[in-house]
Amino acid sequence: MRLTVTVLGFAVAAAAAGNGVSITKVMHNGDPVPGMPGMTFIAAPGGASLNDAGIVLFNGQISGPGVTSSTNNVLFTRVGGAINALAREADPVPGTPGYIFLPASVNHSGYYDLTVTPAGQIGFRPTIYNTTNATGVWDAIMTGPPASPALAIYGSGPAPGFPADTTQVLQTPASTIDGGLTGVIGRAVSTTNAYVIWTGNNAGMIPALQTGLQAPGLPVGVNLQSFGSSSLRMNAMGRIMFTATLATGVGGVNNDNRVVLYEGPPNQLSVLARQGNAVPGVASAIYTSFDASSIRTNAAGALCFKAFVSGGGTDHAIISHGGGQSFVLAKNGDPVPGHPGLTLGRLRNHRHDMNGLGRVAFGAQLVGAPAATDTAMFVGGPGGIEMVFREGDPLPNGLAIAHIENQPFLFNDREQFVLFMGAVSISRPNGDWVQVARPSTGFFTDQGYVGVSHPTVPWRYDANARAAGTGGPTIFNNEGQLLLSLVFTGSNGSGVFMFDVDDPCPADLVLPFGLLDLNDINAFVAGFVGSDPLADLDENGLIDLTDVNIFVSSFIAGCP
């Protein structure tokens, strides 16, 4: 496998030397705010997302006549280079009389779960405020096209499917997919007082499940008691996955088998895994519990999750599922391929993700290795796992991969990585490292000098960002574009910037990477016919003869 890693850190040489890095300013303090005469941007407080077509959703702060600390936070979209305001503190919430977007004076949430779907729909979670009730601060979900998103569901509003109730306690995270479809766990209060999984869009949400009622796929009388509050995911096909706890005492349910992982269409769910059931492919091993926040999914319907295990010589495993089959991708105690004497360990302490091709990236301890090199990152699928980089491996400008345990990373369909380890570098698909950002260093975009990056907090990003097309925030897309809010010293403030590293082999579109074959030809033709951003090889927003020429020339030349 190619070694492809991105580490965030600023370097003058990366931007100024023309080494194939394009850095585009989305916004920077001092810029005029489009559509708001007399207003300027003053900060990028963090929170941003993008899709493969480069549509951006981001938070910004503004200044100008009449602007106060209660009205200066705004959510913006950027489509085709044009920036538009979407939601602003203290402005009325569309379609909901008496509610405003929560002012900064009491705003501890703002806009979260920023999502841009592959087709350009958006979703986000604003905090809203009932001006007729001083205690009325509520979460909400808005979805739809960038020009006109609308409320799908909100706290204190009518509870869909429960005429006598209102909605309360919308639990994160929310997932948003094409069509503005979303899924969320909330609570119907007043009479029912049940937790509910709602799915739908701003044209209507429906209850898929509720606590206190029959658990799908289990004997009659077995009821749902609770949902894993951070477990719900929705993929691009509208299938949902989540953990649930069953009520004991009926149908043989006890404390050793009451936790279940469900998957499927909201109206046709099935049990994918259950506490006490056998772990696939591992003799004498059973599930003892699940990491509720570990579920990852992709647009093709694959998913993975982490589980605690008893028996089979292990205590923790990563389970992957696709095509109707589940298998153990990796477990504590497995030998490390290509490294005799080393085994995997501490999987639960490392992060993982799944890309659009169903490949899973995960970190692990290397049991038996020296402390200076005892963590590594792996990528795998049904054919096995491979180590792609290791603690101590060199990075540009004299840096090295640091200890990987519990470190966030980003991962795309081309198996490029982004690591946040004191410097930021983006890998090309052929494995070459490019450092793009570093603290206390001059920073240049394609338009020129911006400022010196902050020495201690040089960037901000959504720690919940995942692989593209997963229904949640994404800041690193399948085109290899990275979106970050950057902070500078002095009056240079902050801004939102997009990093784009050139691809030395643009015809190498799909697996197996590093080999140009019929798969790449078919992928380009399908992308060209279907107007997929995959075929936009010059990344100018148009799919035309220029892209054909780039593909043909690259295919003939071969990969370096």
299 token code pair: 């647009």
pLDDT at 103: 66
> Residue 238 pLDDT more than 70?
yes
Q: Which amino acid is at 19?
A: N
**Burial call 403-437: b when 16+ CB within 10 Å, e when fewer:** bbeebebbbbbbbbbbbbbebbbbbbbbbbbbbbb
> Contact, 92 vs 98, CB < 8 A?
no
Which residue spans within 311-392 are E strands per DSSP? 316-322, 325-331, 343-345, 352-354, 360-367, 375-381, 384-390
What letter would DSSP give residue 531?
A: T
**Cα–Cα distance list, 163 to 138, 159, 188, 308, 452 (Å):** 20, 7, 10, 40, 56
Evaluate whether residue 419 is within a structural domain. Answer: no
Q: How far is CA 184 from its chain centroid?
A: 16
> Residue 407 pLDDT more than 80?
yes
Evaluate whether residue 521 is within a structural domain. Answer: yes
Give the range among 215-219, 443-447, 460-464, 508-512 with minimum mean pLDDT. Answer: 508-512
> For residue 446, what pLDDT band results from cuts at 50, 70 and 90?
confident
The continuous run of DSSP H or E covering 83 comes out as strand 82-88
283 token code pair: 């003799």
Evaluate whether residue 290 is within a structural domain. Answer: no
pLDDT at 453: 92
Provide the 3-class DSSP secondary structure of residue 502: coil
Distance CA 408, CA 406 (A): 6
Distance CA 3, CA 1 (A): 6
86 token code pair: 């979407």
Distance CA 394, CA 423 (A): 13
Mean per-residue pLDDT, 360-374 = 98
Mean per-residue pLDDT, 515-528 = 92
Q: How far is CA 525 from its chain centroid?
A: 28
Evaluate whether residue 276 is within a structural domain. Answer: no
Q: What domain range is 523 assigned to?
A: 507-560
Provide the 3-class DSSP secondary structure of residue 137: strand
If one counts the domains in the chain, the total is 1
Kindly give the pairing relationship between strand 204-210 and strand 224-227.
unpaired
User: pLDDT of 21-33, one tens digit each?
Assistant: 889 999 999 999 9
pLDDT at 133: 73
Distance CA 559, CA 430 (A): 8
> For residue 213, what pLDDT band results from cuts at 50, 70 and 90?
very high
The residues near 27 (Cβ < 8 Å, ≥ 6 apart) are: 41, 44, 58, 60, 76, 83, 495, 496
Give the range among 63-67, 217-221, 371-375, 552-556 with minimum mean pLDDT. Answer: 552-556
98 token code pair: 């008496």
Evaluate whether residue 558 is within a structural domain. Answer: yes
Instruction: Find the helix packing angle between 545-557 and 518-529, rounded to 10°.
Output: 170
CB atoms within 10 A of CB 82: 10
> Residue 134 pLDDT more than 70?
no
Q: What is the dihedral of CA 505, 509, 510, 514, to 10 degrees?
A: -10
User: pLDDT of 490-511, one tens digit each?
Assistant: 888 999 999 987 777 888 888 7
pLDDT at 169: 79
Beta bridge partners of 240: 234, 264
Percent helix, strand, coil in the chain, to 5, is 10, 45, 45
Mean per-residue pLDDT, 1-25 = 50
> For residue 539, what pLDDT band results from cuts at 50, 70 and 90?
confident
User: pLDDT of 259-269, one tens digit each?
Assistant: 999 999 999 99
Phi first, then psi: give them for residue 397, nearest 5 degrees.
Answer: 60, 35
The residues near 121 (Cβ < 8 Å, ≥ 6 apart) are: 143, 144, 145, 176, 177, 178, 179, 180
CB atoms within 10 A of CB 312: 18
User: Among residues of the chain, what percentage have pLDDT more than 70?
Assistant: 95
User: pLDDT of 281-317, one tens digit each?
Assistant: 999 999 999 999 999 999 889 999 999 999 999 999 9
295 token code pair: 């579920």
pLDDT at 108: 46
> Residue 9 pLDDT more than 60?
no
Distance CA 459, CA 21 (A): 18
Provide the 3-class DSSP secondary structure of residue 12: helix
Evaluate whether residue 519 is within a structural domain. Answer: yes
> For residue 10, what pLDDT band results from cuts at 50, 70 and 90?
very low
Q: Which amino acid is at 115?
A: T
Evaluate whether residue 548 is within a structural domain. Answer: yes
pLDDT at 343: 99
Distance CA 206, CA 123 (A): 18
> For residue 429, what pLDDT band results from cuts at 50, 70 and 90?
confident
Per residue, what are the HEC states of 205-218?
EEEEEECCCECCCC
Kindly give the pairing relationship between strand 233-234 and strand 240-246.
antiparallel
Distance CA 355, CA 367 (A): 27
User: pLDDT of 71-116, one tens digit each?
Assistant: 999 999 999 899 999 999 999 999 888 899 986 544 445 788 899 9
Average pLDDT score over the chain: 89
> For residue 560, what pLDDT band results from cuts at 50, 70 and 90?
low
Evaluate whether residue 555 is within a structural domain. Answer: yes
pLDDT at 129: 87
Q: What is the pTM of this model?
A: 0.89
pLDDT at 104: 52
Mean per-residue pLDDT, 55-68 = 95
pLDDT at 471: 84
Distance CA 469, CA 119 (A): 10
For residue 295, give the nearest of 342, 229, 248 by alpha carbon: 229
Mean per-residue pLDDT, 402-420 = 91
> For residue 15, what pLDDT band results from cuts at 50, 70 and 90?
very low
Name the residue with higher pLDDT: 178 or 271.
271
Q: Which residue has the tokens 């260093």?
A: 441
